[in-house]
Amino acid sequence: MVSITTEPQTLCASPDVDVVFVINSDEYHKPLALNVRDIERIKSAERNSNGKAMVGYMRRHAAAFVDGVKEIGGMDQVIDIQTDRSQDIIGPNSAFVSQSGTFPKRFTDISPEDTEDKTTRATELVRQALESECGVAITKSFTTMWRILGGLALGANLGYPFWKWVNIETLADIVSSNNHKSIVQNKSVRIQYDTPYVKGLPTTLHICEKDDDGYRETIIRRTYEDPYTLQLKELYDWAVHGTPVKTTAEDAELDSHICQMIMKAGGYNA
């Protein structure tokens, strides 16, 4: 028997439910939350209940990312990184989804009340983040910047930023997907992500380094298994076997702090 509800309390309290996937617009889920206030609410709910939260960020689980972390010597070596570069050239997702062979469906049976709730919620969440937490004026450009930063999931890649130099690029409205992270230490390590909306496109690891024989470039593709599948395997081990996960609420909270730093350092002060 299939039950349908619009009440999250009913869903989470059901004895028939083991895992709840929150797969909505970012007013309701992505990143973990659009402001620190709501992140603290999630952390408090987790502490005071039997439930646990795992942040679904597939890029952290990509085989190339895991191998890239090992290549630089582990997460504790992040402090020695000289340069970190993130580039996100992301075209309209519909351009990729429509060609994915997965027979996607678009639904229009959305009530005006739900549309209004989404808009109202977004306005309140961003106001809390910018005005109350960043001390930033509420303008169209500042709001757009905050939403873009939220979509990048910056710190979720390698942790809190101790890098000496950071460059972030993001473009939209072109039919392309070129997303990568470049790490420069005593070698260049780049993790190249393709669009996640076409299953099976590999995430590759690119290493440029000098060795005893000269200069060498290496491209590694360990698997065609996509990051979403790898993420779900870790979710299963976490839920069934209690294996700890790296994408916790505390881990994801660092994203908001990084975004605040960028807004303030970039001259977005009120």
pLDDT digits (tens, 9 = 90+) for 188-207: 888 898 887 788 888 999 99
Model pLDDT, residue 235: 96
User: Where does residue 216 fall: left (phi above 0), alpha (psi -120 to 50 degrees), or beta otherwise?
Assistant: beta
Q: How many CB atoms lie within 10 A of CB 14?
A: 12
Q: Which residues touch 193 (CB under 8 Å, ≥6 apart)? A: 59, 62, 179, 180, 203, 227
pLDDT of residue 184: 55
Local confidence band at 187 (pLDDT 50, 70, 90 cut-offs):
confident
Separation between Cα atoms, residue 210 and residue 101, nearest integer Å: 42
Residue 222 in this model has a pLDDT that exceeds 70: yes
Which value, to the nearest 10 degrees, does the dihedral of the CA atoms of residues 66, 70, 71, 72 take?
110
Least confident of 28-42, 45-59, 117-131, 213-227: 28-42
Going from N- to C-terminal start, the domains of the chain cover 13-102+114-265
Q: What is the dihedral of CA 168, 170, 175, 181, to 10 degrees?
A: 20
**pLDDT band of 267, cuts 50, 70, 90:** low
Q: How far is CA 151 from the centre of its chain?
A: 7
For the cut 50, the answer to whether the pLDDT of residue 169 exceeds it is no
pLDDT tens digits along 66-90: 998 888 877 666 555 666 677 777 6
Question: Residue 172 pLDDT > 80, yes or no?
Answer: no
Backbone angles phi, psi at 162, to 5 degrees: -115, 15
CATH topology (fold) of 13-102+114-265: Dihydrodipicolinate Reductase; domain 2 (3.30.360)
Distance in angstroms (rounded) separating the CA atoms of residues 73 and 204:
18
Residue listed under structure tokens 């989804």: 97
Strand partners, 89: 171, 178
What pTM was computed for the model? 0.78
Using 50, 70 and 90 to split pLDDT, how confident is the model at 256? confident
DSSP element (H, E) containing 235: helix 227-236
Q: What is the mean pLDDT of the chain?
A: 80
Per residue in 118-167, pLDDT (tens digit) is 889 889 999 999 999 988 888 888 888 888 777 655 444 444 444 434 44
List C-alpha distances in Å: 170 to 149, 167, 174, 177, 179. Answer: 9, 10, 11, 11, 9
The pLDDT value given to residue 176 = 46
